[in-house]
Every structure is written in C-alpha cells, then in structure tokens.
C-alpha cells in the first residue's frame, strides 16, 4: 500500500480536488441563484449566477480534460499531445478532447496490431 492510501495516486487526488472544486464552485452560484429567486435559464443570456455556474463548470472540466490528455498521452506513448492541449483554448475543448480520444484509440489499435496483443 502506498503512503497515499490504497489506490489514491497523485493524479487521482488531483482529479478528486478538481471534482470538489467543481462541486463547490458551481453550487456556490447555483445556491445564489436559488436565494435570489433568479430565473436560471433566463439568466443564461444576460449574465448572473447561472452564467458564473456554467463558467465554473466548464473551467473545471477543461482543466481535468487537459490533465487527462497529458497524463494518458504519456502513459500510452502518444507523441505531440501538446498540439492537442494547445487546440483546447485556441479552437475549442469540444474539438480537442474528442480528437485526443480518437487519436488515442487509433494509437492503441495500431500498437495492438503491431504487438499482436490487446491494449486497454
């Protein structure tokens, strides 16, 4: 058993911290919207707690996705993952992250074909 506890790797702890930040960050704004009797969906076009909640939500997901891309890319031996990381803020995370997943699957399939063994 590691010093961090069974199964709790440093990366797992980073993801857990991001999950907690996401929960606290979004629900701080969600509760504010409820207490102010705000029209959550209506506020999406005009600002307010709804927009702040969604912004926090997307920011935490973006950080977790980029961390996953870097760590998983290194783990499976992908090259040039940094290009995909740059695409996230320059183009869109909605483009860069699925592209990373597609390239990861292709990389694993090619490696499996080359080595003659399945990869996970």
- Measure the CA–CA gap between 43 and 33, rounded to whole angstroms: 9
Q: How far apart are CA 67 and CA 63, in angstroms?
A: 6
pTM, two decimal places: 0.71
What average pLDDT does range 94-98 have in this prediction?
A: 92
Q: Each residue of 27-82: pLDDT tens digit?
A: 888 888 888 876 766 766 777 787 888 889 999 999 999 999 999 999 999 999 99
**Which CA distances in Å does 38 have to 34, 55, 73, 94?**
6, 17, 42, 29
Q: Where are the domains of the chain?
A: 10-115
Nearest to 48 by CA among 66, 67, 34, 65: 34
């Amino acid at each position: 058993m590691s010093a961090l506890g069974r199964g709790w790797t440093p990366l797992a702890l980073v993801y857990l911290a991001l999950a907690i930040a996401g929960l606290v960050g979004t629900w701080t704004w969600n509760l504010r919207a409820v207490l102010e009797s705000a029209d959550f969906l209506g506020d999406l076009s005009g600002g307010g707690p709804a927009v702040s909640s969604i912004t926090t939500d997307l920011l935490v997901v973006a950080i977790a996705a980029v961390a996953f891309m870097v760590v998983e890319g290194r783990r499976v031996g992908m090259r040039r993952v940094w290009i995909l990381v740059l695409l996230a803020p320059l183009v869109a995370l909605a483009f860069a992250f699925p592209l990373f997943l597609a390239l990861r699957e292709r990389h694993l399939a090619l490696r499996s074909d080359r080595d003659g063994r399945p990869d996970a």
